[in-house]
Amino acid sequence: MIDRLQEIYYVAWADLQFMRHSFLNILVMSVMSPLLYLVAFGYGMGAGVTPDGISHIAFVVPGIVALTTLSSSFSSTATRINVQKLFYKSFDEMMMSPLRLSSIIIGKATLGVLRGAVSAGIIFLIGLVITTGLHVTPLFVICLLTSCFTFAFLGIMAALLAKTHQSISTFSSMVILPMTFLCGTFFSVASLPAGLQAILYALPLTHSSTCIRAAALGQAFPWASFIVLISFGAAFFAINTHILRSKRT
222 within 8 A of 215, measured Cβ to Cβ? no
Report residue 179 CA to chain centroid gap: 11
Percentage of the chain modeled with pLDDT above 90: 60
What's the pLDDT score for residue 48? 61
Q: Report how many domains make up the chain.
A: 1
132 within 8 A of 218, measured Cβ to Cβ? no
Which residues, listed in sequence order, are joined to residue 49 by a DSSP beta bridge? 55
For residues 195 and 30, give the distance between their C-alpha atoms in angstroms, rounded to a whole number. Answer: 33
Across 19-43, average pLDDT: 81
pLDDT digits (tens, 9 = 90+) for 184-219: 898 888 888 899 999 999 999 999 999 999 999 999
What's the pLDDT score for residue 165? 82
From the list 247, 248, 244, the residue with the least C-alpha distance to 102 is 244
Neighbours of 35 (CB within 10 A): 15
Percentage of the chain modeled with pLDDT above 70: 94
Residue, of 240 and 188, whose pLDDT is higher? 240
Tell me the residue ranges of DSSP E strands in 40-132: none
Neighbours of 190 (CB within 10 A): 10
Residue range of the domain that includes 193: 2-248
- The model's pTM: 0.92
pLDDT of 79 over the 60 cut: yes
For residues 10 and 78, give the distance between their C-alpha atoms in angstroms, rounded to a whole number. Answer: 19
